[in-house]
Structure 1
């Protein structure tokens, strides 16, 4: 396959992954000049109708999904006997690789990743798609920390019969993460994905899966018969509330789990805010046999009372003898100081003195995350060897001050909140007097203290309607980038030219775009492309006018309208406050003629008119 051109368009470059059903290749899209991932059904399965149906099912599933946390699908096709899906090429590592290399993750990191996966599943479930194979191997983490869910190879529409066994009685889905109902071959629902998420989160927090075994059948039986060990018992850094959420989501029966991905996400975020909360705790009240007390049981109780009485008498006799022979109470030790120590260091100190550490609570604090804030008993008091020291540990500062976003563009806001450990909600576009594309409202408002990881809801000046995902046109030839944007429904396109340097190879290629790829924008949003261009053109016009700047400094932008409604930035500067300020420059274009030119100050049109461009050496 390497080097082969599929459908006259996709040049296969290298094999980047292989599964039971398909191979995934890195390929180059020669038409749009971009890197893509090409998922190709394996040759040995092309005659197997079960695998062909599964592959077709994945193709239908991915084409119906569009979410920032799901690997995007561009197209589906066939070339002779080759069936393929064209997918977004994502740089990064799988979640499984990160767990193997880094071990258990901090609660904050694990919850952040899991919330992104749950967002992706919530979108899929709303579209009627159940993934059925959620596992860390199917989650890619980009260098910027974004989680991307992939491989809908055994996904099913909820309207279909969603059983887990094939005609050959082979379990579909990875056995370490499979839900009990999948293991039994029963119909599956969104609750099966919730269970798999719980197992995946368990592995992120502890570094291991809850059930192991010599073979797949043994592991599947444990999913059916055994409860998971709470992750907080394996990793003391896991808050009890977070551990409770994992245990609840891993309930044996679908009815015991969270009814939706959204509700599980809500409790995960709450667990970080209330690490000692009991809101997700499950209490088992086993009253089996309560009403079966009979005369025989009463006889046993009487006998036990007699036996206990004898043991009590023997105990006091033995103690009296020991005291007579000079035996003393167990040796007492002094409780060490473990406050202001990292939890791992505190555990080591306590164990050296013969004590155990128990984390009683995680509490938000300005002290570094993982530092012991309080201990009980206090340092310096006496205790017996083997006693437990209860500690309160800092969960770090969970509070972030919400920045001012009003007046910013979506791109500016995205860049700003990314570095503050906050997220933006899906933008809503509303009619406003503010310039098109600027944020006009936000919740919470600027200056509010909120928790890290929380979302800021924003409203943007624009045409009310549904949002769409911004395509990636980086490194494409300008004409192909414009064609792709037009195909996606974007009509307002502004072009900036930049001079080539050593890092920019291709003339007329897109080197920057605003908004950035894969964020949600209005369907009629304005898109700005920066293109590498060494020659501005041989047709020039001398332009001069005066401007009033009421509030400064004001950003002055002058554009020329090209064919097809494109705007080209021909001049840009910044002016201080003042009246009748002179602006003059020479602009260049690649074709002669009369062009409508527009002057903007801080994004607002202040004047426009026709300007003629003529040939000039």
Structure 2
């Protein structure tokens, strides 16, 4: 969303934007919520929340973030209801509904991330264009009713329909905002006109919401009717000095026909407003889907240029509530309708419009008026020569004739009232549970036509069978009229999409688009799936679930690192066994002589520390032990010559006198003796004689 929320008073006022220094002091501005949403400038502030333009750092897009005021966010019960309603609202994947992307709680800050819709609101259009033509009004209203119809099919009631919550994007798209939020606030709250709190703008509240706070989809229908009245006339139907006075009028006064303020509106437009805003909710359309059908009929009549359509008007107009009283019967007694200013009214007000005016004219006075004295007719003066002949005066027959005509008129009007009010209608046959062909045949047998409306899901009615009708079974429908059939789609189920290989954000978006809810992510090591990608889902892909069912994700942490131990100085066999248990590969790079490392032990290792991954190689240099050289024979050789020979072989030479030393300078013996194998570099002792 991209426009201000309603003002706290809820009476349609634009919220006042805070001054720059106040915005600068807003503690939310500049924060990053849930390590994802960088909060920018505040768009608006309402009674329950503030809306900010924000950047989704993960997906690099602009969103609108609605942050609950701290007093509400600290209420655990409210927060839980808020989360449930946010999930429900996220199910509404509809082109005319502001999308809900995410919901979270960042250290007590409860927020919603929503679609950002730059533009203006329907309130701005009302200020600039109202009163407007009915064609223009219905064109603006049709997307709103379509969005509400989708919500009602999903079991959601908006409860706060008003021009401020209808956003109009710069490209002309119409979006309804704040689905589910009003319901979340009022879920456990008893609202009354006196002792409770009225959630929602009082100018658009249905009477039942004012009286006892309980409402169904018809409360949204009532609010739409009030918005239509405002578009047509440029003003609200009920005014008052206080919200309580306005609420009282909603309960006790009908919404006036818009033609009283704007003459020349077609009667069927008045009838549409009257039907939607009937104080008796049983007279209103059952939900926005039914209202959408009626809006389409009126829009079609307007496109055809019809200034009057008696059949459409009679079909849309609310049926009068009929009661009987134990009074002396008279031609116009016995029918009463509710009236906030009088105890009862005669049948004159209950009769359909085509006969109402003449009947009212014929019975305008309850008492007979005395006849006016008629002047005598002028007679010619008699001639003196002409005799005057008198004739006996005849009794006038006009009196009985007038009485007879009046009686016939009353009888004709009564028959007309009966025809227009009841005789033209037949009872809608019950076709619930039948397939389309059988239902159509039943309706045609009753002289009615069948039309197919939008299908709907049902947990109890099999797919393809009739789930509902408009009018409902037993309701009145014009002879030869049309009954709209709602066919069942069967239980609403959605297959878990294939999520493997997607990023966590992409998987969450796929679940949302698939009418499922994201539960939690569990991270697991994987040698094949890169870090951050989904390995699998629980339940698995392809399993059918109810809408908003929770799906958990198993997300890869990438390859599992393996800590490398240094095996230098240890045996090759032991090192190989330990490293292979960790799924590492041991490679003998070379074998070398070592005077310090025993044969078969590891002289060096690469790498000798750090981490590797499964299948990586550890290189080792293995000791062949010391380099052994055979001691040559030096007996009887001169000492100097023997020394040179041994040093050439890498030995260290030490000369000592033997016990038989006589000073001739020849080698008598050596230690180690000739023929022994000793490590290169060993010390050889020569004993001279």
Q: What TM-score does the superposition give when structure 2 sets the normalisation length?
A: 0.43
Structure of higher RCO (CA pairs closer than 8 Å, 6+ residues apart): 1
Higher strand share: 1
Rg (Cα) greater in structure: 2
